[in-house]
Amino acid sequence: MSAIGRLFIILNLALAAAFLGWASMALAKGDEFRTKYEDEVSAHEATRTELEESVAGLRAEVAELERGREGLRAERDQEKDRADRNKSDLDEAKRKNDQLSADVAAIQETLGGYKESIDSLNESKDRLVEQLSEAERERNDAVAARDDAERTRRDAEDAARSAEMSIAQLEKDLTSTRRQAETLEARLGMIVAEYNIPLDDVMALPDVEAAVLTVDTTVPPGLVALNVGKNQNVQKGHVFQISDGRNYKGQVRVQTVLDNMCSALITDPVPGSTIQQGDRAVTRF
């Protein structure tokens, strides 16, 4: 039964009580109302019984409601505790989220530093690769230069051995050439003295330019080898003037002539000067 129904029952009880009062007054006035009064009392008793039953039901419902309210209150308290725990968990999660955000920011900053380090390392790697390539090229150039130098050294050694053989041959011819030169000089001196003819007229020299190949001063005044010979119209007795391009060093006379080489005796050295390999030799200044 609803609360409104119960209210109407209570109002009915009040009305019934009022009616009973009125009925009592009516019975006092007359017997005609006694029967009605008894009927009303019976009805009132029935109504009271019903009301008592209703009240008992209401009390039971109130007790049930109280139990429900207590249960709801317990559930409310549980929900409040759960809400408090959830709020605490939310605050903790927020704190952890803030910490995670700070950690993420720090990680991003660290990653930025790593990226800069990686970029720097990549640049260093590129420079090292370039330097390595340059070193490889320099090494290859050095190997090629070494090979060229080795070939040049072998060629120089071959030329030196050939020159040594030529010098040995020239030295063998030197004694014979000297004897012939002494004989020719004696004859030439006799001709110049007898006929009073200038020496330049006796032996007209062609215009020849040469270079000193070797110098041998083992037997004074010494012997030189020039890089000209029969193919350059050089003949025995031709005279060459020696200089280094700036300083005059003396005179040599050809003794032995080959196709592209000749040997000459140093006849008039300049005191204090030394004829060396590479000096310039000319027949005419």
pLDDT (0 to 100) of residue 48 = 79
Residue found by looking up tokens 């390392």 in the block: 121
Contact 272, 280 (CB under 8 A): no
Judged by DSSP in three states, 109 sits in helix
Question: Residue 174 has what pLDDT?
Answer: 52
Query: If pLDDT is split at 50, 70 and 90, which confidence band does 196 have?
Result: very low
For 34-76, write each residue's pLDDT tens digit. 677 777 778 778 877 887 887 788 788 878 888 888 887 888 8
Quickly state the pLDDT bin for 175 (edges 50, 70, 90). low
**Residues 153-176: what's their mean pLDDT?**
66
Which residues, including other chains, have CB under 8 Å from residue 105's CB and lie 6 or more apart?
none
Range from 154-168, 194-208, 260-274 carrying the lowest mean pLDDT = 194-208
What are the structure tokens assigned to 70, written together? 């207590």
- Per-residue pLDDT tens over the stretch 229-244: 999 999 999 999 999 9
Q: Which CATH number fits domain 167-282: 2.60.120, 1.10.3470, 3.30.160, 2.40.30?
A: 2.40.30
Greatest mean pLDDT among 73-77, 153-157, 184-188 lies in 73-77
* Predicted TM-score (pTM) of this structure: 0.33
Residue spans of beta strands (DSSP E) within the chain: 209-216, 223-226, 239-243, 248-257, 262-269, 280-282
pLDDT over 90 (residue 181)? no
- Please tell me the distance from the alpha carbon of residue 266 to that of residue 216, in angstroms, as a whole number: 10
Burial letters 136-167, b for 16+ CB under 10 A, else e: eeeeeeeeeeeeeeeeeeeeeeeeeeebeebb
- Percent of the residues in the chain that have a pLDDT greater than 90, as a whole number: 25
Q: What is the mean pLDDT of the chain?
A: 79
Q: 154 vs 2, which has greater pLDDT?
A: 154
